[in-house]
Chain A
Amino acid sequence: MSCSRRDFLRRSIKGGIAASLPLSAFKFLSPAQAKSLVRESGLRWVFLVDTTKCVGCGLCVKACKLENEVPYDVPVTRTWVERYVVTKDGKFHADSPMGGRDGFTEQKIDEQEIPPEEIAKAFFVPKLCNQCENPACVQVCPVGATFQTPEGVVLVDRTWCIGCAYCIMACPYGARFFHPVYRVAEKCTFCYHRISKGMKTACVQACPFGARQIGNFKDENDPVTKTILTQRVAVLKDEYGTKPQVYYIGLDSNVR
């Protein structure tokens, strides 16, 4: 192979330029990525729970079950309230009878009486589906029956779900269950039928103390967004990488 001096110099310069190009210059965006840079959904539903305001009345659970036709006397529920009692010797007790549907009216916790003077701290924690940004339950669905909407809500297609329950196993928060009537996977929808009409979710509306709030994370002026961005908030099981979108004020390390 012959190579003149001129050719050699030309090729060296071209090679040098090619080598100096950063790898990222060759990264092609998928059509969806390119599209998302241009036009994004202006909505991302997020939830804010202030555990310091919750009194454990359970009216949210009652409202949720009746609004969403979850069988009332079956121990399954889309949202539930947990009670935590930490005693002065460092032990902690937790319960949630019937998901807290009838409120907490007795001091007994798990059949156990705890004298008030032994209580170091005690509080209630409402829980519901975290509508994760990376929902593990959606990833495992073998038939495409559960999915994320453009507004970030995870829904179940009742006509398509085969009831294999992979998603119920995959959810780190135990937020899913098997619907005893429809025989499909069931979960909190953030009351999708209500929020898409401009209403609040049934649990948010039912809460007398404002312990539950829902907002649009893409709206900077939304009071919920402002609180999440400026106050000290935490999420449950951050280490799972699911990016949960239910934020908590006053979360304790005993809560899991």
Chain B
Amino acid sequence: MKNHVLRPLWASLAIVALVLLVRSVVVPKDFGIHGNRPDGKNFTFTFHRLGAIDDWKKFKVKYRGKQYCEECHEEKVAENMSSKHRIIQCENCHGPAIDHPDNPETLAIDRSRDLCLRCHADLPYPGSHRGDLPAIDPEEHNPGEACADCHNPHNPNLEDME
């Protein structure tokens, strides 16, 4: 056959070979179908790089939970656990512990009213648990003052108020 007919054929075959070569280098070896769905739609939903699962598992945990705080701050946790505020995690107000006390060395002590108002600003909402919580109108109840000046956030019991 004539050269001008074959030349485009060789050229296109070379391009295909090049694409396959580049693909074998660029696409990770663990890329493929990793699913086991009962409906068999594994290509549609489970076609991925297997290592991506481990990448997400390695993500850093930052919120450690009340038990972690209790290891050192036993008294504070005990005081808190005897009050109505026992349902609140320490880290909700103090921020994530991450690797405290190494990193960060200290956690924030947030005395802002906004933190308390998240639950205790009066919203008359029937059909929501919000309406059952003790609530104040922030514009009338000692505006400008820190709630923690009078109320103990670890134990907010009004009878125990100093």
**CB atoms of B114 and A192 under 8 A apart:** no
**CB contact between B129 and one of A52, A160, A199 (< 8 Å): that residue:** A52
Q: Interface stretch among A12-20, A146-154, A164-172?
A: A146-154
What is the interface residue range for chain B against chain A?
Answer: 35 or more
**CB atoms of A205 and B89 under 8 A apart:** yes
Interchain nearest-CB distance for B130 vs A (Å): 4
Q: Mark A191-223, 1 if CB is under 8 A from B, else 0.
A: 011101101001001101101000000000000
B60 within 8 A of A: yes
Q: Interface stretch among B6-14, B118-126, B143-151?
A: B118-126
**CB contact between A55 and one of B33, B95, B130 (< 8 Å): that residue:** B130
Can you name the residue of chain A whose Cβ is closest to the Cβ of B135? Answer: A55
A245 within 8 A of B: no
Residues on A with beta carbons closer than 8 Å to the beta carbon of B119: 55, 57, 103, 208
Interchain nearest-CB distance for B108 vs A (Å): 12
Q: Which secondary structure dominates where chain A touches chain B?
A: loop
* Bound CA span A46–B33, Å: 23
Can you name the residue of chain B whose Cβ is closest to the Cβ of A125? Answer: B128
* Bound CA span A42–B37, Å: 13
**CB atoms of A122 and B55 under 8 A apart:** no
**CB atoms of B56 and A147 under 8 A apart:** no
Q: Interface stretch among B15-23, B42-50, B71-79, B154-162?
A: B42-50
**CB atoms of A159 and B49 under 8 A apart:** yes
**CB atoms of B126 and A121 under 8 A apart:** yes
Indicate the member of B34, B38, B60, B118 with the most A CB atoms within 10 Å.
B118
Residues on B with beta carbons closer than 8 Å to the beta carbon of A196: 57
**CB atoms of A193 and B61 under 8 A apart:** yes
Residues on B with beta carbons closer than 8 Å to the beta carbon of A39: 36
**CB contact between B117 and one of A54, A63, A105, A148 (< 8 Å): that residue:** A105
Known: A33-B40, A57-B119, A205-B63. A122 touches B45 (CB 8 A): no
B92 within 8 A of A: yes
Binding site for A on B (CB under 8 A): 31, 33-42, 44-49, 52-53, 55-63, 65, 87-89, 91-92, 95-96, 114, 117-119, 121, 123-130, 133, 138
A-B contact pairs, 9 of them (CB 8 A): A36-B37, A52-B129, A56-B130, A62-B92, A66-B62, A67-B62, A119-B124, A121-B126, A199-B65
